[in-house]
Chains A and B, each alone.
Chain A
Amino acid sequence: MSARAVYGIVVREWVRFLRQRGRLFSSLARPFVWLVFAGAGFAAVFAGRDAIDYRVYMAPGLLGMVVMFGALLAGLSTVTDRDAGVLRMVLVAPIRRSTIAVGKALAATLLGTAQTIVVAAVLLPLVGLRPTGAGALLALGAIVLSSLATGALGVLLAAGMRSIENFAGVMNFVVFPMLFLSGALYPIGHLGPVLHALTYLNPLAYGVDLLKHALLAPWSGAGYGGELPVALDLAALLGWAIVGLGGATPLLAREGGVTRAAFRERA
């Protein structure tokens, strides 16, 4: 695996991200919009309002949301690379397909982590959360690992997609379910058995759980901290990263679609 190629892929994503002001602004503003509007609504019906302020409860979830939009969408950008033709150039470079998948996933990890740290620096003081040193460190680990896991998932989804038109489907059937089944907005323990089972497949659920371990430890007695063992969260996130990268690699190689599509147009 060429470290220089991975570095090149990461640098390109970073430069593109910084240059897209709209994306930068909306990704940083999104959690605060949720804090204000969803926070107001949910706070009124939140069962635990005597034990914990809802805005404090939702803070780890909002960070998880930033991770997901930051890293998953960055991983999904592989599909726009395919549309714009850039992916062909990458595929003709003398590097393995796995190098491309790793480069993309690491770029997504960097973007997800950077955005989440910036948001956390404002959000946590805003809701009055002051994590301990160990808590902050665990939160950082949770942010990096969840970015890697959701970024790899994004690369996997993008590698399997033919065109950007499938994007809306991904938003409806992946992004929103992932968010609502993550425990970001409400505890998932009370969900029905089918939905609850699905949460075990959701990488974001493990990321948010880890963030709750890190940030909501004082409320764990009241049932609002992390619920799964930390080791399970870590292992599941790593597992998702490996599944995403391993699944994306052969799909990226299936680039025969490029010529096939061009051929069909002209035949």
Chain B
Amino acid sequence: MTAAAIAVRGLGKDFGSLRALDGLDLEVREGEFFGFLGPNGAGKTTTVHLLATLLAPSRGAARVAGYDVVRHALAVRRSIGLVFQETTLDRDLTIDENLRFAARLWDLPRRVATPRIDQLLGQFGLAARRGEPVRALSGGLRRALDIARGILHEPRVLFLDEPTAGLDPRARRSLWQLIRGLRAASGLTVFLTTHYVEEAEPCDRVAVLEAGRLVALGAPADLKREADVGSLEEVFLARTGHPLAAGGAA
């Protein structure tokens, strides 16, 4: 039996009178590829920010990599990588400088950071452009760099918050290839949020979120079998009574 990478009990978050997340119970296993599916505004990003210690929960508790998100926030942040929905790169710095900056923030000594940066740049196809400022990169390459920076410190859990938003189909495909390769190589736990059903299909398990509440949880095949439908799209429809796309695509 492996320890849970993420364990969530009764997690809730209010913004004023708005219940962004309500009583979430969830367990993500070590090495699992976990999908968090729901329309925009369902509370996916709020959940990620709670698990990443950027927000304090209003109710409930969560442990990430074995650490409590409230009491051991620094230990949690040390154990996770987070790729935000919008890029957080410094556009004025080069690829190399962005990674060096992150390496220092994550307290990696130079002798560790330098080979790790070289390796990641090679792996992500960025080596030839390492001296270029980020503003000169395409959206797809920026995203790749966001992910490279997210795993620079070899986290146990990687959060990907809508990683393909705003990317063209080709960049999307190469991004998924990259993530598959990462998982195969390292057994990294990946927590993916998306509002695209097709992106959730390859996940080991999927949690379906609607208006801050969990409406389904299980392997995509099981969910489809239970609802007796052919796609996760229809699972969402069966559970909530309305189509996923109604939340509005980004």
A196 proximity list for chain B (CB < 8 A): none
Cβ of A95 and Cβ of B105 under 8 Å apart? yes
Within B97-111, the residues touching A (CB, 8 Å) are: 97, 100-109
**Complex alpha-carbon distance, A56 and B78, angstroms:** 54
Q: Within 8 Å CB of B101, what residues of A?
A: 8, 11-12
Find out whether the CB atom of A258 lies under 8 angstroms from the CB atom of B54: yes
In the assembled complex, A172 has its CB within 8 A of some CB on chain B:
no
- Give every chain B residue within 8 A of A94 (Cβ-Cβ): 74-75, 77-78, 106-107
Report the interface size for chain B: residues with CB under 8 A from the other chain.
Answer: 42
16 pairs of residues in contact across A and B, judged by CB atoms under 8 Å: A4-B108, A5-B104, A8-B104, A9-B105, A12-B93, A90-B105, A92-B77, A93-B102, A94-B74, A95-B105, A256-B55, A256-B56, A258-B54, A259-B45, A259-B46, A266-B40
> Are B104 and A19 neighbours in the complex by a CB distance under 8 Å?
no
- Give the shortest distance, in Å, between B194 (CB) and chain A (any CB): 14
Cα(A8)–Cα(B149), bound, Å: 15
Interface string of A11-35 (1 = CB under 8 A from B): 1100110011000000000000000
Contact of B105 among A5, A20, A259, A267 (CB under 8 A): A5
Residue on A with the closest CB to B48?
A: A259
Given contacts A85-B87, A94-B106, A259-B49, 11 further A-B contacts (CB under 8 A): A4-B108, A5-B105, A8-B100, A9-B104, A16-B93, A86-B88, A91-B54, A93-B105, A258-B54, A263-B15, A266-B40
The residues of B that contact A7 with a CB separation of less than 8 Å are 104
Interface size class of A (residues with CB under 8 A): 20 to 34
Contact among A88, A96, A256 with B84 in the assembled complex (CB-CB below 8 Å): A88
Q: Whole-angstrom distance between the alpha carbons of A15 and B101 in the complex?
A: 11
Q: For chain A, residues 27 to 66, give those with C-beta under 8 angstroms from any C-beta of chain B.
A: none
Q: Is B84's CB under 8 angstroms from A85's CB?
A: yes
A95 to B89, CA, bound (A): 18
Closest B residue, CB atoms, query A103: B105
Q: Are B86 and A85 in contact (CB under 8 A)?
A: yes
Interface residues of A in 69-100 (CB under 8 A from B): 84-86, 88-96
Among A8, A16, A84, A263, point to the contact of B46 (Cβ < 8 A).
A263
Q: Mark A86-129, 1 if CB is under 8 A from B, else 0.
A: 10111111111000000000000000000000000000000000
- Encode A210-243 as 1/0 by CB contact (under 8 A) with B: 0000000000000000000000000000000000
B231 part of interface (Cβ distance < 8 Å) = no
**Chain A residues positioned under 8 Å from B87 (CB to CB):** 85
Q: Whole-angstrom distance from the CB of B220 to the nearest CB of chain A?
A: 25
How far, in Å, is A88 (CB) from chain B's closest CB?
A: 5
What 9 pairs across the A-B complex have the smallest Cβ distances?
Answer: A8-B104, A89-B88, A93-B105, A94-B78, A94-B77, A85-B88, A266-B40, A266-B41, A267-B41
CA distance A71 to B20 in the complex (A): 39
Question: Please, which residues of chain B bring their CB within 8 A of the CB of A20?
Answer: 92
CB-CB under 8 A for A96 and B45, given A12-B97, A90-B105, A255-B54: no
Taking CB atoms, residues of chain A closer than 8 Å to B56 are 256
Complex CA gap A168/B103 in Å reads 34
Chain B residue at minimum C-beta to C-beta distance from A2: B107
Q: Which residues of A sit under 8 angstroms from B20, Cβ to Cβ?
A: 263
A260 to B91, Cβ gap below 8 A? no
**Distance (whole angstroms) from the CB of A242 to the closest CB of chain B:** 23
